[in-house]
């Protein structure tokens, strides 16, 4: 999965949108939700136009509305979910944003804790992916996966570009055994 990277001076922004499979899985959920909420709207229109009583239809209206929202909200999240990482060399910070719909969840980290960029693979012989990670030397520093690629040349190119902007070395760990911890 390749992401879009933009460089503006000392700021690197890497966008990681939801894969197309996730967006495809959201369509049945949104369709079911739309069907349930459409039936609620039809029932309410019938009740308010004088052909029915709202008191008789209150329980089905509430149940169908609840089910429509219960199915539709995960569909909306799958449809609009994306992640982007902003590496700011001037402020020496990393901002990881997970966004779905109007909701943003941000986490900030200190760029000084990260000392190199690593390229790793997943040891899958059929479909190998190469991850570009931002790593630190300390044990408590959790690596940040920036982007995953299916071709090694693309991962090398991105790692060297980010390393050039942030003045960090790029290390290639493809084909080596993972650490025990």
The CATH number covering residue 109 comes to 2.30.29.30
Same domain, 87 and 97: yes
Do 39 and 127 belong to one domain? no
For position 3, what pLDDT does the model report?
A: 55
Q: Among 54, 80, 106, give the residue marking a domain's end.
A: 80
Other CB atoms within a 10 A radius of the CB of residue 178 amount to 8
- pLDDT at position 169 over 90: no
Instruction: Identify the pLDDT of residue 167.
Output: 85
**Chain mean pLDDT for the chain:** 85
CB 158 within 8 A of CB 147: yes
The sheet that has 82-88: what strands, in order across it? Answer: 4-8, 11-17, 82-88, 93-100, 103-110
pLDDT digits (tens, 9 = 90+) for 17-69: 777 888 899 999 999 999 999 999 999 998 888 887 878 888 999 999 999 99
Q: Print the domain residue range for 129.
A: 4-18+81-172
- State whether 130 and 161 are in the same domain: yes
Residues 104 and 65 in one domain: no
- Considering the domain architecture, whether residues 62 and 107 belong to the same structural domain is answered as no
Residue 1's pLDDT band, with cuts at 50, 70 and 90, is: very low
Residues 102 and 143 in one domain: yes
Copy the structure tokens of residue 97: 């944003």
Strand order in the sheet with 170-172: 144-149, 130-135, 116-121, 170-172
- Mean pLDDT across the stretch 74-97? 89
Alpha-carbon distance 147 to 86, whole Å? 13
User: pTM higher than 0.75 for the full model?
Assistant: no
| Domain-embedded: residue 181 | no
Of 78, 84, 88, 39, residue with least CA distance to 60: 39
Main-chain phi, psi angles of 96, to 5 degrees: -105, 120
Split into its structural domains, the chain has a count of: 2
d(CA 145, CA 157): 16
Question: Is 121 inside a domain boundary?
Answer: yes
């Amino acid at each position: 999965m390749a992401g879009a990277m933009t460089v503006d001076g000392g700021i690197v922004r890497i966008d990681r949108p939801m894969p197309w499979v996730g967006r495809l899985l959201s369509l049945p959920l949104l369709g079911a939700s739309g069907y349930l909420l459409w039936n609620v709207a039809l029932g309410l229109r019938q009740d308010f136009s004088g052909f029915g009583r709202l008191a008789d239809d209150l329980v089905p209206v509430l149940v169908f509305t609840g089910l429509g929202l219960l199915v539709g909200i995960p569909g909306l999240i799958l449809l609009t979910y994306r992640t982007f990482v902003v590496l700011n060399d001037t402020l020496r910070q990393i901002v990881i944003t997970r966004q779905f719909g109007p909701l943003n969840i941000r986490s900030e980290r200190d760029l000084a804790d990260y000392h190199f960029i690593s390229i790793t693979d997943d040891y899958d012989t059929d479909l190998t992916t190469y991850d570009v990670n931002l790593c630190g030397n300390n044990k408590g520093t959790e690596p940040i996966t920036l982007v995953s690629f299916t071709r090694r040349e693309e991962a090398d190119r991105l790692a060297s570009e980010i390393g050039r902007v942030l003045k960090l070395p790029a290390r290639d760990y493809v084909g080596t055994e993972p650490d025990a911890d």
